[in-house]
Amino acid sequence: MSNRKWNILIVCEGYEEKPYMDKILNFPCIKNNEKYCFSECVNAKGNGSIFARYQDKLQSGRYDLVLVFCDTDKGSQQFLEIKKKFADELFGGDKKLTDGLFIFCNPVTLQIVLSHFGKVELKNVSKKKNGKIVEKLTGIKNYDAKDEQINEIIGLVTYKTYDRMKENLKNISEDLNQLPSTNLLKFLRYFESDDDSWISNLLKKINKAN
């Protein structure tokens, strides 16, 4: 473990991911961790812009590490192409390095958000189909990710529901080829712990690849 404090930024895919991650990072178990300083997340406004926003923030020199938070849209070709672009243009073709940078959820981020309120296993990217589950667990009707709906559902996410979310995700696969799946819990363990060896090891691999 090091004695330094790491500056970390997370580039989020869109309008649902950014407010959710900003909320989580401000919970005491993470915010009060003296090992890390998380800046306000960046909204890439679509997965097609993730790489450009990531590269821009990385080259600013303000952060020790820049991570990505996005959904996989059921392992879509576009998501795989984004990871390949990261590997080819930043890490000398080392695809495994991208696994240390991407916080993902398959099929959609709602899988994580709704886990604050109950056990869910989403199999679909359709907001209309998932909307029935949203209404059942939160009371929000006809959910289609309008700004006011996003604000309402994120408002229901609290520190009291945080442990419930983690418990509900325990049996969800970390294999992005599975439905549903997410590696969020792995990163949350990092963020809550005072053992920062994960970031030191990751940065060594990144520097070696460059």
pLDDT number for residue 31: 97
- Residues near 175 by beta carbon (within 8 Å), at least 6 away in sequence: 181
pLDDT number for residue 167: 98
Neighbours of 28 (CB within 10 A): 9
Rounded Cα distance, 196 and 90, in Å: 23
Residue with tokens 């009371």: 139
pLDDT number for residue 35: 96
pLDDT number for residue 1: 64
84: domain range? 6-209
Per the domain annotation, does 1 fall within a domain?
Answer: no
- Short-list 20, 205, 195, 30, CA closest to 108: 20
Per the domain annotation, does 15 fall within a domain?
Answer: yes
| Number of domains composing the chain | 1
Which regions in the chain score pLDDT beneath 70? 1-2, 74-75
pLDDT number for residue 94: 86
Is residue 53 classed exposed, middle or buried when 0-12, 13-18 and 19+ CB atoms within 10 A define those classes?
buried
Rounded mean pLDDT of the chain? 94
Per the domain annotation, does 120 fall within a domain?
Answer: yes
